[in-house]
Structure 1
């Protein structure tokens, strides 16, 4: 399907530029569809025409002719304007279209007479005058610079930019065309000027008195334009310089010489660097050879060491095998010896078990005997403490008895005194006072005698108790000593604990047991324990 078959809507003249740019972008994206073969092209927007094969230059003329034709639709004009831009801006560079001899001749700068010294605006500039303008909204307006640039491009002049010149009234109807800053740009500028001159639309024609009509006039900017007092001169003086072709050539030659000199210096530096690199390469090569030789020597030494280590390892392995066999024989003999010893130990172990049980039993008996002996020692200490307390009690009773004896003697003396007083009173007569006093003395004497009799009875009782306690204490000491002598060996005994000994009672008499009775009871228990053991 061709590009012209797409659905479209009619556009206005003011939208044609934007429309052309749109198709220009589409053609760039679909590069190559307009080419039929090596040098044969077709128009992608005219598929129904008889002529489908164009040369490149014919296709350029076709696209430009359609885009400027007043009889064609605005859509077709916009498409072909986009095609014209694409052919001149992109396809010409990508496909490297060769120029014809006629084009080459036109593009070569010519130097006749004093042209070499003639001053041009540099970078190369062209001037277009008598551009169509109209009065609108209080000022002059005209065609944009991009439209004029595309028109000039379609004719093969390849301008870089077009700058419309404006003044206080608006568009001046003039524009400055900027070409490339090289000899190709100069050739395009000369071609641009010759094209206008061939149509009698050059600078000389523009300055002539006749009516200019709606024709465009163009020429290359030179010294007279640069030095002019109008809007063109003002713009050129601000943006460019004046240079002759010889000056440009001289500058180009100087730049070329500088470039050649720089390149020569660079080449010389590269040559020296190359020589240094070659020298380093030679040194590196020698070093590599030495390293390789050393590596070979190291490999040889390594192989020799490896063989020697392998031989040593083999010898050590054989030695280890021999030692292992020797150790195996030794351990086998030891195993048999240990088996015999194991049997002996098993037999001894059975015997030792019986002995161990007997020792354990004896140990238990000794522990029990030690515990019983400890308890007996504690009981003896308790009995000794009781004996001490009994002695203290006996001493206190002796002191009390002594006090009673002293009191008895005092009463006896008082009785003797009262008896003497009574005898004296009897000899005094039979008076009433004497009788009364005598009665008092007799009464007091009677009381003292009764007290004396009571003291004698108490004293007699205390003496008897002291004698009995002394006898009992001596008997208890004797029995305790005898009992300790009979029980010097450790034996199993059963006695009351210390706390229970104090509560020992004589059940037959219904009272607490005396010290002697407690010792006797303890010795009886000890003898009974010995009898049970036997």
Structure 2
């Protein structure tokens, strides 16, 4: 831990000395930069107290003399044939005008033009050069005022001032529309004010930049210290990582050597086992030669088994076909039974309608008899009602006759269907008895199967356990055969409170399993319409 702390202390001390050196050097650098910026501002911003170097203006009478700003020159005189502004600008190109505007009136070109120079000091110098050029030739403003009434053909020019702006005419109107009055002193004060504002803004920006640079310097120092600490920790982690890698490589080499040794051991064991297998293979070959006869016998047995399996499959297919035919026949009988039930319901509905019709006929007959035996003279209205009731009564008689004939036809059809159904039922049961042997399951659930457990419980009450089970099996098989027999009729009709109920004689057997036989028989008896026979649903 002591050795680890010593480098940390040295790193922190070195970082502190570096931060102090950087802060002093950065302070000098910021001061030098601020001085350079100030000098550059002074060089780029002209001093308003000095005239621009490009201009050589004539001395003005007063610094408060007002000129038209942006600086403009007035050009008067010359030919009355108008020239374009571009041609005039080319002729005055030595004075660097921005634009030359010829003045026109409704009569044509007036021979006057306005020369626009700009807004800065350089443009003011160009304007004074323009004025000095014409003054040197005697064609300045004073020359114009002296010769304006003589109609001289020469051109005159000067810098536009306040009196020119107030002059009536096209020149004064243009100057009023496009310029203001401003003196050199105002321009200088405005320039000074702008310069001071610019210097103040730049000084503020320099101060903000200095603060930002100081913050960046502080962050840089913190980051440098943090990076030094991180690099030291990284070096320690790298050393530990290399140490762990070296250990893992040693372990891997030892593990690889162990695997190689184990592989050699396994290879030797495999070689020994291969020798044993070769020996056993030779023994097997010898035994194979001896067992050829056994193989031939097995092949024969296989052929026999295949033939048996083929016959069994064919028998199974035939059994499946028979089962499918039985199921289709059962479904057909079920549909026919449902149709018969529907016919019975329709007959009951027809019977109700017939009873209502008979009641209506009796009511009409009563009304007709009452009207026939009423005392007094019969008028036309009474005769008409009697005739109407007679006609209606005859119609009802016709309807009831039609219903009786229809009922008879339906009843005959129902009996024929029932007879056909019973014949098919007997044939079905006989066929199933031929197909099934004993209690064999043909793949469908049969109604009326008896529960062997009920017979066993009843027999155990009267005999020993072994005898009871044998006796129960015999009785169960017997009663199942009786139930499957379509000629067996165990039921007798007993009247109970005016209602007919099916009963079965006890015959001295135990009531416990006799009740089971009775329930199963009744269940099978209900499957046929009006006949107590066993059937498979």
TM-score bin, normalised by smaller chain: 0.3 to 0.5
Q: Give the TM-score taking structure 1 as reference length.
A: 0.46
Q: Give the TM-score taking structure 2 as reference length.
A: 0.45
Larger Rg: 1
Q: Which has the higher contact order (CA 8 A, sep 6+)?
A: 2
